[in-house]
Amino acid sequence: MKGIIFTVCFLLCLVSVSFSQESNSVESSSILITFPKQKKDIRILVLKKLDKYINSKELFSKQKNNVFLFSIGLSVDSLGNVDDIFFSDSVTKNKTKIIIVNEHLIADFKKMHLDDFGYRSKILILPILFKRPDDDKISNLNEFLSGFSSLWPIFATDSMHKVVLLEPLINNFFDPIN
């Protein structure tokens, strides 16, 4: 368990260091790393929206010590409405069947309204890790590293929106009780 937490923290620190340097290029947005000290932690709200689009059968069929890492990006307009959604490659290229991306999922996210002014006119990036609570190592290291290398969602850069990397969410899932 400590190994997983240490590995995830180390890898996320690497990402934050590599993306923390601002480029002078016009195409690049500025990147702001923040922690959820806002009025409301939207990570749980995002996870609740995502919940009904998770293929539980596929998730529970993962072997012990297999983790699933992906990220979701939300583009928020100046009024606090979500106007676009981005996923990391592990979700968009259907490398996994765990997240069911369809027009209903997109519509549910676009119904979200964020009252916190700190999130307006920004692109919010939320890394999410699914694992079992008793996992103490990562058995699917190749899949994990592939997910990590494609963690940053691909989106059209817009100089009007700053990019905010939210604190990663580690979601422990339990096998169903029959």
- What is the per-residue pLDDT across 50-107, written as a single tens digit (0 to 9) for each? 888 888 888 878 888 888 888 898 999 999 999 988 888 766 555 568 888 889 999 9
Sign of the Cα pseudo-torsion (83, 89, 94, 99, in order): negative
Structure tokens at 96: 């996994």
Q: Give the Å distances, CA to CA, from 100 to 56, 140, 174.
A: 10, 21, 19
Round the average pLDDT of the chain to a whole number and report it.
77
H-helix or E-strand spanning residue 134:
none
State yes or no: pLDDT of 164 exceeds 70: yes
Sign of the Cα pseudo-torsion (134, 176, 90, 74, in order): negative
If you count them, how many residues does the chain have? Answer: 178
Taking the CA of residue 40 as centre, how many other CA atoms within 13 Å lie in the half-sphere pointing to its CB?
10
**Rounded CA separation 12/25 (Å):** 24
Q: Report pLDDT for 151.
A: 79
Q: Report pLDDT for 82.
A: 93
Domain boundaries, the chain: 2-21+29-172
User: What is the per-residue pLDDT across 101-152, written as a single tens digit (0 to 9) for each?
Assistant: 889 999 999 999 988 888 888 889 899 888 888 888 888 777 777 778 777 8
Strands (E), 12-81: 31-33, 68-76
Q: In 52-129, which residue ranges form alpha helices assigned H by DSSP? A: 56-60, 89-92, 103-110
**Rounded CA separation 105/100 (Å):** 8
Q: Report pLDDT for 156.
A: 66
pLDDT band at residue 170, thresholds of 50, 70 and 90? Answer: confident
**Rounded CA separation 46/50 (Å):** 6
Q: Report pLDDT for 40.
A: 64
Q: Report pLDDT for 81.
A: 93
State yes or no: pLDDT of 29 exceeds 70: no
